[in-house]
């Protein structure tokens, strides 16, 4: 059995153990919450009740009647409701992350390249960075409203702070010898910035983005929990009011899946950009591209001095 | 020597550093030097005695508190394309393919793409690296990256070449091979080279002239009158050994 298959097998084993362990726990802990919902709902309850009742949030359309209009709860309505709420949340997390990344990197580069900008911007950002993100939600609510615009801004703000710090550190860590080499061949500041600083900082910026990847999803849920009218966070808010543990868990599962998929997507795409980086070599994606890059030549190890 | 003929003239350079605890360190103290076109000058000395500082001042990467550096009679205030540098650390950009690394200086000077790639490939051929033109630097050995650095600096065609212990991290055999590559290119192009090293054998193998820097001053400055191109046998003659003893003496041995 090769390495990849054995890794997949052990992963599936762990997953199966978790699923079975949860089921076991639900039979041991049978306590119920205030609205007669089990605190640890088993799988039959999660799928037969919690998931099905997600159809409560379906407003009708696509030929699937909404239970609020008198129809029975259906899985079709439940999945449509989850899909609709997911799309709303995707828009917020996606736009917020993009704006946050661009804003944070832009501000970081500005501060790193200009003394005046550093004196103006850096102290403010360092104060903001000490403020807990969640403590700022009410403020964003009051300023911009508990709507899509306000939540996008909130996500962008949180991501921008992280990316700002990451960018400043990355610029500081660019080896001096690269800058000196560029200077000795006559490069001006703009050329050095474009051909040396930007490529040199990319791996570190990518790393800080990957490390804080779950943050976007946390921020969007935080933003939606307080007063939004749509999105996955709203379902959690309602579920919390009626102690629907199962529904909270279903949304939590969704977030795990979404965060994992978006992480994998970004990792795969950004890995291609830093194909040159020594640490990328071991990964299969990089190895394929490497073979392409030296096609028609002998492998590097075989070239003698 | 008539300073007017000099391509590079260093006069009375003084450099001081301040340590973190505030105490001053004199790195260079009244260093003067005239270099004629086509010379291969080895700057020899122990670590921490000012060799690299001197080279950085000449490169324009470091400002001196005192004195002046002139290249072709123009004062040096910052780095310029008249002085190519081979650095002590690996300065090959890992994010550029080998050929783009060699072409980088030409790109900075807006040489058209086809032209600069042609020049880069020619120089890769001169250092026997044609086969890895499209490879990434991480796929190369240290010796091959050193040759990329040599090709890159020669592709820019600077009249003066400054090298700061460029082969210090290489194993003995590789270092000898890369030395030969550099010496051949120097011979072919007739450039003026300043080559910093702490290795007496390396200096005697490469240089037409050797300068010993000791405690921030020039302790010795003399031509190496051994045949060129030079072999181990040429260095192991009575004249060669006498010079080696003298140089080691000025570096502080015995």
- For chain A, give the number of residues: 305
Listed as ranges, residues in chain B with pLDDT below 50 are none
Which pLDDT value is given to residue B19?
A: 87
The CATH number covering residue B59 comes to: 3.40.50.300
The answer to the question of residue B155 being in a domain is: no
Nearest residue in A to B100, CA atom: A195
Q: Domains in chain A, start-ordered, CATH in brackets?
A: 86-277 (1.10.3720.10)
Residue among A178, A185, A276 whose CB faces B105 most closely:
A185
Confidence of residue A290 (pLDDT cuts 50, 70, 90): very low
ipTM: 0.91
Q: Give me B70's structure tokens.
A: 């002139």
B107 chain-A contacts, CB cut-off 8 A: 195
Which pLDDT value is given to residue A297?
A: 42
- Measured CA to CA, the distance from residue A52 to residue A244 in angstroms comes to 13
Q: Domain range spanning residue B248?
A: 1-82+197-254
Which pLDDT value is given to residue B2?
A: 58
A220 vs A285, more confident: A220
- Measured CA to CA, the distance from residue A212 to residue A219 in angstroms comes to 11
- Asked whether the beta carbons of residue B79 and residue A305 sit closer than 8 angstroms, the reply is no
According to DSSP, the residues that pair with B10 across neighbouring strands are B33, B69
- Give the minimum alpha-carbon distance from A277 to chain B in angstroms, rounded to a whole number: 7
- Asked whether the beta carbons of residue A293 and residue B94 sit closer than 8 angstroms, the reply is no
Could you give the maximum distance between any two Cα atoms of chain A, in Å?
A: 81
Residues 6+ apart with CB under 8 A from B187: B228, B229
The answer to the question of residue B175 being in a domain is: no
Asked whether the predicted pLDDT for residue A288 surpasses 60, the reply is: no
The answer to the question of residue B48 being in a domain is: yes
The answer to the question of residue B234 being in a domain is: yes
The answer to the question of residue B89 being in a domain is: no
Count of domains observed in chain B = 1
Average pLDDT over residues A81-108: 91
The answer to the question of residue B151 being in a domain is: no
Which pLDDT value is given to residue A93?
A: 92
Q: Virtual CA dihedral for A274, A276, A279, A282, nearest 10 degrees? A: 100
A297 contacts chain B (CB < 8 A): yes
- Measured CA to CA, the distance from residue B12 to residue A273 in angstroms comes to 49
Chain mean pLDDT for chain A: 83
- Asked whether the beta carbons of residue B85 and residue A180 sit closer than 8 angstroms, the reply is yes
A191 vs A271, more confident: A191
Spatial contact of A136 and A128, defined as CB atoms under 8 Å apart: no
A201 contacts chain B (CB < 8 A): no
Confidence of residue A58 (pLDDT cuts 50, 70, 90): confident
Only one residue has tokens 């200086």, namely: B105
The answer to the question of residue B211 being in a domain is: yes
Spatial contact of A275 and A203, defined as CB atoms under 8 Å apart: no
Find residues 246-285 of chain A whose CB sits inside 8 Å of chain B: 274-278, 281
B78 contacts chain A (CB < 8 A): yes
- Give the minimum alpha-carbon distance from A2 to chain B in angstroms, rounded to a whole number: 26
- Asked whether the beta carbons of residue B94 and residue A276 sit closer than 8 angstroms, the reply is yes
- Measured CA to CA, the distance from residue B58 to residue B43 in angstroms comes to 13
- Asked whether the beta carbons of residue B174 and residue A305 sit closer than 8 angstroms, the reply is yes
Which pLDDT value is given to residue B244?
A: 92
The answer to the question of residue B221 being in a domain is: yes
Residue among A278, A290, A296 whose CB faces B94 most closely:
A278
Residue A21, Ramachandran bin (φ over 0: left; ψ between -120 and 50: alpha; else beta): alpha
Q: What is the 3-class SS of B9-28, one letter each residue?
A: EEEEEEEEEECCCCCEEEEE
Asked whether the predicted pLDDT for residue A269 surpasses 90, the reply is: no
Asked whether the predicted pLDDT for residue A303 surpasses 80, the reply is: no
């Amino acid at each position: 059995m090769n390495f990849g298959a054995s890794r997949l097998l052990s992963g599936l084993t762990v997953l199966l153990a978790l699923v079975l362990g949860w089921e076991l726990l639900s039979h041991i802990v049978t306590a119920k919450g205030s609205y007669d919902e089990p605190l640890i709902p088993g799988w039959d309850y999660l799928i037969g009740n919690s998931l099905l009742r997600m159809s409560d949030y379906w407003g009708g359309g696509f030929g699937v009647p909404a239970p609020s209009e008198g129809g029975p709860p259906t899985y079709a309505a439940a999945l449509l409701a989850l899909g609709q709420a997911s799309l709303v949340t995707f828009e917020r997390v996606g736009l917020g992350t993009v704006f946050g990344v661009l804003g944070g990197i832009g501000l970081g580069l500005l501060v790193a390249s200009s003394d005046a900008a550093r004196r103006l911007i850096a102290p403010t950002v360092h104060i903001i960075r000490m403020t807990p993100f969640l403590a700022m939600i009410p403020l964003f609510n009051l300023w911009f409203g508990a709507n899509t615009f306000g939540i996008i801004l909130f996500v962008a703000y949180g991501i921008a702070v992280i990316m700002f710090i990451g960018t400043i550190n990355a610029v500081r860590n660019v080896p001096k010898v690269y800058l000196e080499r560029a200077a000795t061949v006559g490069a001006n500041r703009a050329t050095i910035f474009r051909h040396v600083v930007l490529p040199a900082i990319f791996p570190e910026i990518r790393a800080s983005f990957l490390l804080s990847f779950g943050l976007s999803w946390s921020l969007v849920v935080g933003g939606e929990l307080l007063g939004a009218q749509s999105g996955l966070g709203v379902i959690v808010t309602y579920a919390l009011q009626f102690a629907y543990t199962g529904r909270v868990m279903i949304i939590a599962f969704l977030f795990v899946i979404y965060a994992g998929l978006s992480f994998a997507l970004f990792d795969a795409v950004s890995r291609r950009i830093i194909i040159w980086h020594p640490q990328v070599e071991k990964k299969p994606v990089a190895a394929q591209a490497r073979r392409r890059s030296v096609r028609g030549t002998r492998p590097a190890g075989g070239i003698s001095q | 020597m008539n300073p007017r003929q000099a391509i590079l003239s260093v006069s009375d350079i003084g450099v001081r550093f301040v340590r973190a605890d505030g105490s001053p360190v004199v790195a260079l103290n009244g260093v003067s030097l005239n270099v004629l076109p086509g010379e291969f000058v080895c700057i020899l000395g122990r670590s921490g005695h000012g060799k690299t500082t001197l080279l950085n001042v000449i490169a324009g990467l470091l400002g001196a508190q005192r004195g002046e550096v002139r290249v072709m009679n123009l004062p040096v205030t910052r780095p310029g394309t008249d002085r190519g540098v081979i650095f002590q650390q690996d300065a090959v950009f890992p994010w550029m393919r080998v050929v783009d690394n060699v072409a980088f200086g030409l790109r900075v000077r807006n040489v058209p793409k086809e032209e600069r790639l042609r020049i880069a490939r020619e120089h890769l051929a001169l250092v026997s690296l044609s086969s890895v033109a499209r490879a990434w630097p991480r796929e190369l050995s240290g010796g091959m990256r050193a040759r990329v650095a040599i090709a890159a600096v020669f592709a820019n065609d600077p009249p003066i070449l400054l090298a700061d212990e460029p082969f210090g991290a290489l194993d003995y055999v590789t270092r000898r091979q890369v030395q030969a590559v550099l010496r051949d290119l120097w011979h072919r192009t007739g450039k003026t080279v300043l080559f910093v090293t702490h290795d007496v054998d390396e200096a005697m193998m490469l240089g037409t002239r050797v300068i010993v820097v000791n405690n921030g001053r020039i302790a010795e400055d003399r031509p190496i009158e051994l045949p060129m191109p030079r072999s181990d046998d040429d260095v192991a003659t009575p004249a060669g050994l006498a010079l080696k003893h003298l140089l080691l003496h000025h570096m502080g041995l015995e």
